[in-house]
Amino acid sequence: MKFTINRDLFLSNLNDVSKAMSNKPQQPVSSGIKIEVKRDSIFMSATNAEIAIQAIIPVTSQLVIEEEGVVVLPGKYLLDIVKKSEAKDILVTRFESNVVKIVAGRSEITMNPLDVEAFPFINFDRNGVELSIDALNLKQIIKKTVFAASTQNEQLILMGVNVVTDGNKLEVVATDTRVLVKKHLIFPTEFEKISVIFPSKSLDDLNKILDDSEEIVNINISSTKAVFSFKNISFRTRLIKGAFPNVDPIIPHEFITKIKFNKQDLMATIERASLFITQADENIIKFALNKDGNVLISSINNQIGSVEEIIKPISCTDIVPFQTSFGYVYLLNAIKALDSNEVTISFAGEIRPFVLTGEYDINYIQLIVPVKI
Amino acid sequence: MKFTINRDLFLSNLNDVSKAMSNKPQQPVSSGIKIEVKRDSIFMSATNAEIAIQAIIPVTSQLVIEEEGVVVLPGKYLLDIVKKSEAKDILVTRFESNVVKIVAGRSEITMNPLDVEAFPFINFDRNGVELSIDALNLKQIIKKTVFAASTQNEQLILMGVNVVTDGNKLEVVATDTRVLVKKHLIFPTEFEKISVIFPSKSLDDLNKILDDSEEIVNINISSTKAVFSFKNISFRTRLIKGAFPNVDPIIPHEFITKIKFNKQDLMATIERASLFITQADENIIKFALNKDGNVLISSINNQIGSVEEIIKPISCTDIVPFQTSFGYVYLLNAIKALDSNEVTISFAGEIRPFVLTGEYDINYIQLIVPVKI
């Protein structure tokens, strides 16, 4: 096996593929990157229990293949070598003895490969339903939904993001029962009907290697897995089995008041009002609409003390004094996912879920469930 | 107790004083900042087992004192409050009930004070020998020496930095037996004769609150402590008791060759040559002068592989082929502490300590002890 590749091209592909390496591998080979050198292209891949990523690099002026072959190299170290190199081109050779030699400028590196036979077979077959969506919209959907999914292993299904198509509508829902987000997009053409649950962690990983571009991402969905194809990359994730709960009944449609805030002002106020909240607490802040139309945000830590701050909303449809309590981190994360400068919070009652919307955040609602104190 | 203080003035003084707060306090009060409000100034202080810091803020247009008093507040939370505040002025009041109220713009904060009686008495008396040095030179000395001190609790004396005066010469030495640095400064006036050991951690902390200015720092040294005075700050550290070893006999003066490198080039080469070194190893790289006058730097990790790189020095006084091995982290840290663009390494033999110097690093030598393999 022998090839010479442009250093920057090698690095960007290793960076993409390495997102599927295990950080805490059960077997050494799971921390490896497999490099398959064929007659006219190189296949690089890595995999962990959730996802697998493959990059195909064709022969060009930036890649010269002299001899075919296959090898699995320790991914972290290979990536470090290429990252630190100042060389223009990198020569990789595997000898009969199975030793791999890398020549990068003045550096000569010898690497002991991992066991190729132990590297799992990865199936990137595209034998399911096909969807297409541009990278920009896909990144937006991921950014606006994954943060709301559960991180608790006991809530297996809620660790996923539910994607449902209906005609030309694609709807995405995530919830951990305390916070809920729902986003939909309307497309010019109709989709085949699907309802699947993507692991939210997988979508997070996918987001890291998607460019901010209008390039089309093809998504092939079968019963147990999905394969995302874009640029020279295939990204596979397993799907979560099971039925995602129907969340529509808990979304309120009648409200006692709607209060509009400047987003930055509200965030700064919540950050100050929560300064005494330590991890040991339940992260609860109190939100009260006063008779004068101002809002009081406060929190108490019995040991340290209390903080309260008055914030003047931009507007308030009905001044009905009430108060509600909830986890402030949910509210901060929800606000951060909004692209609007103003955020409207619609309240249905003191212990009813409330709804966040933003004028520039079309077809997107967020819902937070108060806690009873 | 009641005062109103400009937010920026409060923050910068809290920042300075907080460097002496304990991160992992044995008692809650050790994480506190003591605020003593007197008729015409405020004294703020914090302390841990090694150091104590006090800031004195006099009454000005930025500080109005309405009522005297004393309180100890949880330092981290007080600092957070002031840091996050957008208010111009901050009003602090302690009520009869012992509760402290802080009003900062729209925020109203109530804090439970810590026990004033439990806060240790800190003696900032200046009853010893007095030295003066400008902040810029003091920062340089600290930067160029503390990194070489030991971090091993078993080597108590070597966890300190030895400062010795002799006439108008001030000499500073630090070593952990593997690396040694020695720096001296010549002053226009003579010093009183002293030889003391400062805890290197204390000098690190001091460095964080010293400005890059030519302002004079007065250092008052008694048998067990030193007090640094500058701006409105007093910084006290305990001293390490004992006799610092005489390091002069181990510094070689005759060399088999002197090799001069470009500093950046040498650093990049060492960083690449050490990429496979994991923490489990002894951090050893090999350094060999070849017959052609080039230097080969290499390391081996039996599991992963090996890296070797040829570096061409700027010059080499004698081409005497030899090789030596040492901890690469020592060499990297030593090179980073140099201000010169070129670094000269003078070798006295394969297993003899070698010496690093830089053309712009006057009166400063660094010495690294090779390991036998």
pLDDT in tens, B233-245: 999 999 999 999 9
> What's the alpha-carbon Rg for chain A, to the nearest Å?
25
State how far Cα A159 lies from the chain centre: 12
- How would DSSP label each residue in B177-228? SSEEEEEEEE-SSPPPP-EEEEEHHHHHHHHHH--SS--EEEEEE-SSEEEE
Which among A83, A118, A153 is the end of a domain? A118
Task: Tell me the chain A residues in contact with residue B311 when contact means C-beta distances shorter than 8 Å.
Answer: 106
B86 and B16 belong to one structural domain? yes
Of B109, B272, B305, the CB nearest to A305: B109
For chain A, what is the mean pLDDT?
Answer: 95
A54 and A146 belong to one structural domain? no
Query: Edge-to-edge strand order for the sheet containing A129-134?
Result: A69-74, A32-37, A41-47, A51-58, A233-238, A225-230, A216-221, A129-134
pLDDT at B281: 63
> Which residue numbers in chain B have pLDDT < 70?
25-27, 280-281
Number of domains in chain A: 3
Neighbours of A165 (CB within 10 A): 20
Name the residue among A34, A120, A122 with its Cα closest to residue A78.
A34
Residue B296 lies inside a defined structural domain of this protein: yes
Residue B305 lies inside a defined structural domain of this protein: yes
Residue A198 lies inside a defined structural domain of this protein: yes
Which among B91, B118, B145 is the end of a domain? B118
- Report pLDDT digits (tens) over A177-235: 999 999 999 988 898 999 999 999 999 999 999 999 999 999 999 999 999 999 999 99
Interface size between A and B, measured as CB pairs under 8 A: 80
Neighbours of A196 (CB within 10 A): 23
The pTM for the full model equals 0.92
Domain that holds residue A173: 129-238
- Report pLDDT digits (tens) over A272-319: 999 999 876 678 999 999 999 999 999 999 999 999 999 999 999 999
Residues of B with CB under 8 A from a CB of A: 74, 77, 80-81, 84-86, 100, 106-112, 268-269, 271-273, 275-276, 303-311
A231 and A259 belong to one structural domain? no
B113 and B133 belong to one structural domain? no
Q: What is the rounded average pLDDT of the residues A118-137?
A: 93
Task: Tell me the chain A residues in contact with residue B110 when contact means C-beta distances shorter than 8 Å.
Answer: 305-307
- Which one-letter DSSP state was computed for residue A2? E
A114 and A135 belong to one structural domain? no
Residue A124 lies inside a defined structural domain of this protein: no
Size (chain B), residues: 373
pLDDT at A280: 64
Amino acid at B15: N
Contacting residues for B325 by C-beta, under 8 A, at least 6 apart: B284, B285, B286, B287, B370, B371, B372, B373
pLDDT at A86: 95
Neighbours of A234 (CB within 10 A): 21
Residue A205 lies inside a defined structural domain of this protein: yes
- Cα–Cα distances in Å, from B269 out to B52, B191, B290, B315, B359? 42, 43, 16, 17, 21
pLDDT score of A27 more than 80: no
Beta-carbon separation of B272 and A311 below 8 A: no
Name the residue among B349, B215, B334, B320 with its Cα closest to residue B267.
B334
Task: Tell me the chain A residues in contact with residue B81 when contact means C-beta distances shorter than 8 Å.
Answer: 272, 275, 307
Residue B51 lies inside a defined structural domain of this protein: yes
B8 and B88 belong to one structural domain? yes
Query: Edge-to-edge strand order for the sheet containing A322-327?
Result: A322-327, A284-289, A295-301, A305-311, B107-111, B100-104, B89-94, B2-6, B63-67
- Cα–Cα distances in Å, from B252 out to A235, B25, B171, B332, B348? 60, 45, 18, 21, 7
CB B127 within 8 A of CB B142: no
Of A268, A275, A305, the CB nearest to B86: A268
B112 and B133 belong to one structural domain? no
Residues of A with CB under 8 A from a CB of B: 74, 77, 80-81, 84-86, 100, 106-112, 268-269, 271-273, 275-276, 303-311
Task: Tell me the chain B residues in contact with residue A7 when contact means C-beta distances shorter than 8 Å.
Answer: none
Q: What is the CATH number of the domain that holds B326?
A: 3.70.10.10
Neighbours of A356 (CB within 10 A): 23
- Report pLDDT digits (tens) over A223-264: 999 999 999 999 999 999 999 999 999 999 999 999 999 999
pLDDT score of A28 more than 80: no
pLDDT score of A154 more than 90: no
- Which one-letter DSSP state was computed for residue B337? T
Residue A246 lies inside a defined structural domain of this protein: no
Task: Tell me the chain A residues in contact with residue B271 when contact means C-beta distances shorter than 8 Å.
Answer: 84
CA–CA separation, B46 and A288 (whole Å)? 37
A164 and A104 belong to one structural domain? no
Query: Looking up tokens 């081996």, which residue turns up?
Result: B300
B109 and B35 belong to one structural domain? yes
A107 and A145 belong to one structural domain? no
State how far Cα B267 lies from the chain centre: 22
B104's tokens: 């900062």
Q: What is the CATH number of the domain that holds A66?
A: 3.10.150.10
Which among B87, B118, B149 is the end of a domain? B118
Burial of A254 (0-12, 13-18, 19+ CB in 10 A): exposed
CA–CA separation, A212 and A223 (whole Å)? 29
A134 and A224 belong to one structural domain? yes
Neighbours of A141 (CB within 10 A): 21
Residue A373 lies inside a defined structural domain of this protein: no
pLDDT at B25: 64
A76 and A168 belong to one structural domain? no
